[in-house]
């Protein structure tokens, strides 16, 4: 029996269906067509309301500035680390932290950072009162600052691990070692040689992920709710606020703002693209000038310092969540609480455990169905000798490039009209949109890397294609499939907006609960939820690391990879 080509079709539908439907919903509501609220468009009223909103200019500036700045800084740290430190001992130490860091949900990392840098946070406590003279938390805006700097830092600490991991995967394909040998023998310093000789080829391969970082940073909601300014907030946060208003007409304002947000992302991508070309021309001129860049110890130190800082901030933040979740009385400026207690866990535990259950059900449903689709696609494509083209890759990245706030409001208004919003399955469908691309990206390499001759041998012995797939290929690919599973779970656990908008308040995960706690400022409860959220994302990763060596303990050939 041949696998029906229905699987690729179904995958594209699951991947792009919600996006297309959501955009349709956003555009019709944004142009005043929203029958549920008794509005029959088209009209420009939603945009008129939007233009009249006094916070618009600031929120647009925030979205553009924090998004672009966070991307530039993340990319710069990544480049300096790779250029200055590849192959060294500190670099290898950093690498070991990457995968776990990547799976820490954005909201948990943002809360950790909040506990670190807010006026009553660890950093201020560490210098008070002996150095700063403060015996009460100082009245300064260290977080939720009007410029959005805290928000930007919160994004950078999560995007650097992402860009590093993506780059490391790509570096193996472009002979970076050979390129560096040539540049070094010609007299180039480490960083100059890497930037002129390796980076152009690397960038061509990580361009789409960089665009994803840009689009994401511009339109992020959960991190912005936690670390960003409030009055007014960045545009995407304001969209969510309008969506939450009891007056349904406000959803048309939200949709108009969502169209604007989409336009801003497109504009930023075009600007970025232009900047790419200018930088490429400049780099070629510098390469032609032959300047060797031999004094760059300072740059190397800067790269390593910022890299270490961004890793350290996430780790210290998680430690902060841990301490707060067990803290008894903890007054300012003590560095540690007076005592530890289980009271916070007892108080928040029962509700949190139940939410953990929902979180896992959604993540499991989205990831497992996503895995079936992805493996089905890979296998079908191979049997038909199809290859993932550049265009296919863009399709895969599309749901990650279109801001969540642009199509999720529309998806919600559509679901509302057919009356199936706020169900668990609608949330699972929304999560799959974001899980599927990451599943495909993490399985693509391992799936193609298998030795096709093993299949040929099996087929020559009379094994059917299905038998080869289930009895040979899947078992051999156990480790990568489990890793992909862990990635999918982490992506789903970390989702905020799909759960919030599609679940409409009726479906709660650890992430939505944790972010909802942000406004109240109950740090002990935040500690409990943030930790559970991190644990839920890390657990599948630990399983993916531990399980394959146990299953294959008597098979040496399968113990690496």
**Contact positions toward another protein, by CB under 8 A?**
175, 178-179, 181-182, 184-190, 193, 196-197, 200-201, 284, 287-292, 294
Q: Judged by CB, which is closer to another protein: 189, or 488?
A: 189
Q: Judged by CB, which is closer to another protein: 175, or 334?
A: 175
Which tokens in the block code for residue 239? Answer: 């969209």
Q: Smallest distance from the beta carbon of 204 to another protein, in angstroms?
A: 8
Distances (CA, A) of 323 to 226, 330, 347: 19, 10, 16
Q: Judged by CB, which is closer to another protein: 140, or 291?
A: 291
Q: What's the count of helices (H) and strands (E) in the chain, helices before strands?
A: 25, 0
Q: Judged by CB, which is closer to another protein: 287, or 398?
A: 287
CB neighbours of 380 closer than 8 A, spacing ≥ 6? 3, 5, 7, 8, 386
Q: Smallest distance from the beta carbon of 297 to another protein, in angstroms?
A: 10
Q: Smallest distance from the beta carbon of 5 to another protein, in angstroms?
A: 36
Q: How far apart are CA 373 and CA 228, in angstroms?
A: 37
Q: Smallest distance from the beta carbon of 91 to another protein, in angstroms?
A: 12
Q: How far apart are CA 179 and CA 196, in angstroms?
A: 10
Q: Kindly report the three-state secondary structure assignment for every residue of 192-257.
A: HHHHHHCHHHHHHHHHHHHHHHHHHHHHCCHHHHHHCCCCCCCHHHHHHHHHHCCCCCHHHHHHHH
Q: Judged by CB, which is closer to another protein: 61, or 292?
A: 292
Instruction: Enumerate the β-bridge partners of residue 340.
Output: 327
E-state strands within 48-186: none
Q: Smallest distance from the beta carbon of 89 to another protein, in angstroms?
A: 9
Q: Judged by CB, which is closer to another protein: 197, or 410?
A: 197
CB neighbours of 202 closer than 8 A, spacing ≥ 6? 82, 167, 170, 171, 174, 176
* CA count, 13 A, side-chain hemisphere, 121: 22
Q: Judged by CB, which is closer to another protein: 289, or 331?
A: 289
H or E segment to which residue 57 belongs = helix 56-85
Q: Smallest distance from the beta carbon of 450 to another protein, in angstroms?
A: 27
Q: Judged by CB, which is closer to another protein: 129, or 187?
A: 187
Q: Judged by CB, which is closer to another protein: 9, or 204?
A: 204
Q: Judged by CB, which is closer to another protein: 55, or 172?
A: 172
Q: Smallest distance from the beta carbon of 80 to another protein, in angstroms?
A: 18
Angle between helices 89-103 and 523-551 (to 10 degrees): 110
Q: Smallest distance from the beta carbon of 214 to another protein, in angstroms?
A: 22
Q: Which CB contacts under 8 angstroms, 24+ apart, belong to 234-238?
A: 234/59, 234/62, 234/63, 234/66, 234/148, 234/151, 235/59, 235/60, 235/62, 235/63, 235/260, 235/261, 235/264, 235/405, 236/63, 236/261, 236/403, 236/404, 236/405, 237/59, 238/53, 238/55, 238/59
Q: How far apart are CA 229 and CA 350, in angstroms?
A: 32
Q: Smallest distance from the beta carbon of 199 to another protein, in angstroms?
A: 9
Q: Smallest distance from the beta carbon of 293 to another protein, in angstroms?
A: 9
Q: Smallest distance from the beta carbon of 43 to another protein, in angstroms?
A: 51
Q: How far apart are CA 398 and CA 221, in angstroms?
A: 19
Q: How far apart are CA 526 and CA 324, in angstroms?
A: 8
Q: Judged by CB, which is closer to another protein: 159, or 296?
A: 296
CB-CB contact of 84 with 299 (8 Å): yes
């Amino acid at each position: 029996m041949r696998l029906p080509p229905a699987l690729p079709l179904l995958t594209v539908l699951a991947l792009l269906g919600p996006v297309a439907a959501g955009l349709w919903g956003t555009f019709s509501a944004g142009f005043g067509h929203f029958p549920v609220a008794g509005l029959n468009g088209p009209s420009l009223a939603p945009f008129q309301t939007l233009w009249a909103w006094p916070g618009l200019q600031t929120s647009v500036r925030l979205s553009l500035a924090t998004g672009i700045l966070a991307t530039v800084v993340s990319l710069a740290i990544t480049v300096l680390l790779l250029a200055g430190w590849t192959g060294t001992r500190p670099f290898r130490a950093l690498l070991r932290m990457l995968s776990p860091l990547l799976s820490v949900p954005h909201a948990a990392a943002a809360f950790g950072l909040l506990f670190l840098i807010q006026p009553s946070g660890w950093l201020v406590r560490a210098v008070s009162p002996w150095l700063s003279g403060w015996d009460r938390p100082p009245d300064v805006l260290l977080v939720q600052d009007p410029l959005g700097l805290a928000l930007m830092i919160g994004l950078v600490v999560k995007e650097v691990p992402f860009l590093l991991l993506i780059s490391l995967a790509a570096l193996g394909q472009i002979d970076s070692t050979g390129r560096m040998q040539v540049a070094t023998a010609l007299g180039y310093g480490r960083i100059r040689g890497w930037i002129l000789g390796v980076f152009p080829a690397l960038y061509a391969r990580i361009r789409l992920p960089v665009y994803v970082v840009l689009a994401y940073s511009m339109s992020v909601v959960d991190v912005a709710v936690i670390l960003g300014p409030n009055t007014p907030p960045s545009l995407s946060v304001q969209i969510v606020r309008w969506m939450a208003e009891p007056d349904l007409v406000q959803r048309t304002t939200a949709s108009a703002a969502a169209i604007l947000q989409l336009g801003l992302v497109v504009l930023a991508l075009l600007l970025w693209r232009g900047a790419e070309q200018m930088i490429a021309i400049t780099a070629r001129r510098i390469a032609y000038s032959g300047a060797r860049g031999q004094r760059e110890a300072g740059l190397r130190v800067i790269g390593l310092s910022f890299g270490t800082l961004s890793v350290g901030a996430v780790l210290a933040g998680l430690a902060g969540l841990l301490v707060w979740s067990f803290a008894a009385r903890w007054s300012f400026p003590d560095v540690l609480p007076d005592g530890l207690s289980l009271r916070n866990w007892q108080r928040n535990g029962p509700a949190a455990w139940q939410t953990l259950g929902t979180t896992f059900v959604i993540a499991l449903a989205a990831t497992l169905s996503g895995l079936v689709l992805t493996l089905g696609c890979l296998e079908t494509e191979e049997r038909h000798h199809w290859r993932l083209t550049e265009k296919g890759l863009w399709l895969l990245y599309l749901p990650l490039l279109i801001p969540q706030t642009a199509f999720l409001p529309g998806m919600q208004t559509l679901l509302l009209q057919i009356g199936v919003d706020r169900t668990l399955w609608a949330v699972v469908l929304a999560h799959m949109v974001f899980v599927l691309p990451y599943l495909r990206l993490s399985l693509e390499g391992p799936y193609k890397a298998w030795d096709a001759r093993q299949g040929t041998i099996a087929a020559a012995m009379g094994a059917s294609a299905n038998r080869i797939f289930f009895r040979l290929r899947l078992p051999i690919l156990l480790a990568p499939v489990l890793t992909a599973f862990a990635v999918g779970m982490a992506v789903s656990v970390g989702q905020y907006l799909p759960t919030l908008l599609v679940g409409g308040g009726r479906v709660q995960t650890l992430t939505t609960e944790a972010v909802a706690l942000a406004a109240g400022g109950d740090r002990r409860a935040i500690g409990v939820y943030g930790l559970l959220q991190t644990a839920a994302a890390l657990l599948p990763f630990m399983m993916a690391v531990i399980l394959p060596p146990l299953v294959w303990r008597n098979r040496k050939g399968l113990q690496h990879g």
